[in-house]
Amino acid sequence: MNRLSRIFERAAEEDRLVVSIFLTIGHPSVSESRELTLAAIESGAEIIELGVPFSDPLADGATIQASSYKALQQGVTMRDCLDVAAAVRRKSDAALLLMGYTNPFLAYGLENLVRDATEAGVDGLIVPDLPPDEAGEFERALQGCDLSMVYLVAPTTNESRLKTVASHADGFLYCVSLTGTTGGEQIGQGVGDFLARVRRETSIPLVVGFGISRPDHIASLRGKANGAIIGGRFVRLIEEASDDERLDAARSYVESMVEAASGR
Amino acid sequence: MTSSGAQQATFDASVWENLPTDTGHFGTFGGRFVPETLMPALEEMADAYSRVKEDKEFNAELERLLKHYVGRPTPTYFAERLTDKLGGARIYFKREDLAHTGAHKINNAMGQGLLAKAMGKDRIIAETGAGQHGVAGATVCAMLDLECLIYMGEEDIRRQELNVFRMKILGAEVIPVSSGSRTLKDAINEAIRDWVTNVLNTFYIFGSVAGPHPYPMIVRDFQAVIGREAREQIIELTGRLPDLLVACVGGGSNAMGLFYEFVRDADVKMVGVEAGGTGINSGMHAATLTAGRPGVLHGARSYLLQDENGQVHEAHSISAGLDYPGVGPEHSYLMDSGRASYVARNDDDALRALGVLAREEGIIPALEPAHALAYVIDIAPSMSRDEIIVINLSGRGDKDMETVVDELGLRG
């Protein structure tokens, strides 16, 4: 059983949601991204999405766009992201996913990526502009290795597409809570119905993202999903905190979300 | 970097004519690299388009509007003085600059506007670089009574002020985009983000043969009227097919529009002219096919200006309409298969060509087709008087007068 499966199984046994944290590598710096990742894990996050910066992040709202831009200004590359993963892996058993857009992965070369990501202890990829319809090349490259290709479904996903995406699902399904980009402060209104619709198609773990910013958002997902992803809100916290307060602010924020995820 | 060149080394018209595939692929190019949120909308649009494409009433209405509103067919004009001056091949202009709103963009905006109506969408968004697609979109929305929002980079708003005024007068809202290079690339990012958020009631009128499927196909089909007319007109005027077609390429819609009807005519050469900016070696250019390599941007795989890490380069051109680091996937296919070739001409070449056409023929072209003309000025003298060139004069130059006057030091 791979790391992601173990994490979801343990959480189910303990009747809690898995908390996943997204951050952009290199925002505000590569070394701080590493420290922030470790802090999030110490505070109870079990899946970390290491954001690979891209020049044209079209699924992202202003917050994550800006973080990506700042990271690129410092010359952050895929190699930096893999180095952060490797450093975190030496100290932690949390699941580590690379989240980024198609082109930087293609430019790195998929064979190189699979080799280096495996070596760094990465557990999978999330590529928001790569629906399964276009992912043949990625899926072939990932065959036979222990990297999951995580796909997204959205409230607009109709039943026929839901079947298609579910048939490719691997690790978990990333359920986009709303019709929109990242960075909102509210989850979608119809998320309960949406999750029920997805649940009818697949037994794979469902993890909700986009717009999750407060403990009550997470609490409202208990019993409906297996996990929650906090991205835009966490990136904004990193952006707004001063240098000497950043790690503490990250810790206490993640702790509050993990508590809510446990029903406490 | 990819094996696409090897796979498509020779062009086969019987393969090409069935492209794109149902999933929007032209060989290894094209596709739908978009967030899942948009996938159902793209499928819905492809379905709706395949219905209206066969629908007699839809086509009759489009034809009526193209004739009586847009002013089609546009003429094909023999530029005799320019031909004599260059002393080589006979040069004909397909006068898209004479279409309503002053550029070819209206052909596609009209088609997509009617498609939006047919689909029951009443909120329209569009991106624009030079402002010609924005003006065309705003025009069609005014005429069809649709709400219209145009995303435009701040840099383009500055250099194409006239078109910004036109869009506003036509009742469209122009939304400035301040991210990235503040040009067309970033306007498209912002428009896509709007679409992701408002997809249920919004139709995105995309302006070029780029973007995710079905856009490269739909825009090509709506622009193909240029080549259909040109083919008929040149045969009527000269009794035969041309030897060479030339058109400028940013995203590539006017070039694809001219080329499409001639692709099966193996003896007709096709050359796309990209923006060389201040020179390919300077790195400040928009010559995607000439100097890029395949990658994924704005929903499709195609040639792309990018660094070794896959980050998209900012493009540079004096011409806002060519200032784009991507290109339509079918152009990538035509290039790799050897059916069309692509060259670049610089800012200075375009400015000079604009002056030549203005003085020799009394036509002030937009800076975009001035790039195509610059290539023709170079190549025509080496061809014989028996040979025929058709160049797509895709737009008129009014919008560029500020830029040109500044560059040529004509103020005061």
A180 touches chain B (CB under 8 A): yes
**CB–CB of A67/A235 below 8 Å?**
yes
Between positions 182 and 211 of B, the ones with CB within 8 A of A are: 185, 189, 192-193, 196-200
Say yes or no for a CB contact (<8 Å) between B311 and A130.
Answer: no
Whether residue B361 is predicted with pLDDT greater than 90 in this model: the reply is yes
A37 Cβ partners below 8 Å, 6+ apart?
A21, A23, A48, A50, A84, A88
* DSSP codes joined into one string, B101-136: GGBTHHHHHHHHHHHHHHTT--EEEEEESSSHHHHH
**Residue in chain B lying closest to A126 (CA):** B35
pLDDT at residue B7 in the model: 47
What Å distances lie between residue A5 and A45, A91, A118, A195, CA to CA?
15, 20, 17, 19
Q: Which residue has the tokens 């035509």?
A: B334
Whether residue B1 is predicted with pLDDT greater than 70 in this model: the reply is no
B302 touches chain A (CB under 8 A): no
Q: Respond yes or no: is residue B341 known to be catalytic.
A: no
Q: How close does chain B come to A5, measured CA to CA in Å?
A: 24
User: Is the Cα dihedral A99, A102, A108, A109 positive or negative?
Assistant: positive
B176 Cβ partners below 8 Å, 6+ apart?
B152, B153, B154, B157
Tokens of A199: 């649940």
A74 touches chain B (CB under 8 A): no
pLDDT digit string, tens, across residues B220-240: 999 999 999 999 999 999 999
Nearest to B320 by CA among B166, B184, B179, B123: B184
Q: How close does chain A come to B91, measured CA to CA in Å?
A: 41
**CB–CB of A226/A171 below 8 Å?**
no
Q: Measured between beta carbons, which residues in chain A are less than 8 angstroms from residue B299?
A: 129
Nearest to B135 by CA among B115, B156, B116: B156
Q: How close does chain A come to B88, measured CA to CA in Å?
A: 44
Q: Respond yes or no: is residue B394 known to be catalytic.
A: yes
pLDDT digit string, tens, across residues B257-294: 999 999 999 999 999 999 999 999 999 999 999 999 99
Nearest to B24 by CA among B1, B42, B5, B6: B42
Mean pLDDT for B17-34 is 97
Determine how many CB atoms are found less than 10 A away from the CB of residue B9.
Answer: 10
Whether residue B119 is predicted with pLDDT greater than 80 in this model: the reply is yes
* DSSP codes joined into one string, A40-75: HHHTT--EEEEEPP-S--TT--HHHHHHHHHHHHTT
Q: Binning pLDDT at 50, 70 and 90, where does residue B395 land?
A: very high
Using alpha carbons only, give the angle A15, A17, A20 rounded to the nearest 5 degrees: 155
Q: Which residue has the tokens 């909102």?
A: A184
Residue A21 CB-density burial (10 A; 0-12 exposed, 13-18 middle, 19+ buried): buried
User: Is the Cα dihedral A170, A104, B30, B334 positive or negative?
Assistant: negative
Give CA–CA dist B74/B72, Å, rounded.
5
B131 touches chain A (CB under 8 A): no
pLDDT at residue B33 in the model: 98
Q: Binning pLDDT at 50, 70 and 90, where does residue B3 land?
A: very low
Nearest to A221 by CA among A17, A3, A15, A44: A17
Determine how many CB atoms are found less than 10 A away from the CB of residue B283.
Answer: 13
Mean pLDDT for B51-64 is 98
**Residue in chain A lying closest to B307 (CA):** A107
Q: Which helix (H) or strand (E) holds A36?
A: helix A30-42
The two beta strands, B29-30 and B25-26, are: antiparallel
Mean pLDDT of chain B: 95
Q: How close does chain B come to A66, measured CA to CA in Å?
A: 9
Q: How close does chain A come to B365, measured CA to CA in Å?
A: 32
pLDDT at residue B5 in the model: 42
pLDDT at residue B9 in the model: 67
**Residue in chain B lying closest to A161 (CA):** B40
Give me the amino acid identity at B366: A
Mutation pick from B1, B34, B39 vs chain A, by most beta carbons of A within 10 Å, is B39
**CB–CB of A148/A4 below 8 Å?**
yes
Whether residue B135 is predicted with pLDDT greater than 80 in this model: the reply is yes
Determine how many CB atoms are found less than 10 A away from the CB of residue B331.
Answer: 29
CB contacts < 8 A, A to B, total 117
The two beta strands, B76-78 and B90-95, are: antiparallel
Facing B31 at nearest CB: one of A72, A128, A134: A134
Q: Measured between beta carbons, which residues in chain A are less than 8 angstroms from residue B296?
A: 101-103, 106, 129
Give CA–CA dist A77/A65, Å, rounded.
16
Q: Measured between beta carbons, which residues in chain A are less than 8 angstroms from residue B308?
A: 107
Say yes or no for a CB contact (<8 Å) between A181 and B193.
Answer: yes
Whether residue B4 is predicted with pLDDT greater than 60 in this model: the reply is no
How far the first Cα of chain A sits from its last, in Å, is: 29
pLDDT at residue A24 in the model: 98
Q: Which residue has the tokens 């609490």?
A: A219
A130 touches chain B (CB under 8 A): yes
As beta bridge partners, residue A175 has: A153, A208
pLDDT at residue A264 in the model: 78
Say yes or no for a CB contact (<8 Å) between A158 and B193.
Answer: no
What Å distances lie between residue A210 and A17, A178, A213, A225, B395, CA to CA?
16, 7, 9, 14, 43
pLDDT digit string, tens, across residues B97-112: 999 999 999 999 999 9
Whether residue B157 is predicted with pLDDT greater than 90 in this model: the reply is yes
ipTM: 0.97
Mutation pick from B194, B311, B313, B314 vs chain A, by most beta carbons of A within 10 Å, is B311
Nearest to B394 by CA among B184, B98, B92, B70: B98
Q: Which helix (H) or strand (E) holds B357?
A: helix B347-361
- Which of helix, strand or coil describes residue B95? strand
Residue B81 sits at φ, ψ, to 5 deg, of: -65, -40
In chain A, which residues have pLDDT < 70?
Answer: none
Give CA–CA dist A157/A93, Å, rounded.
33
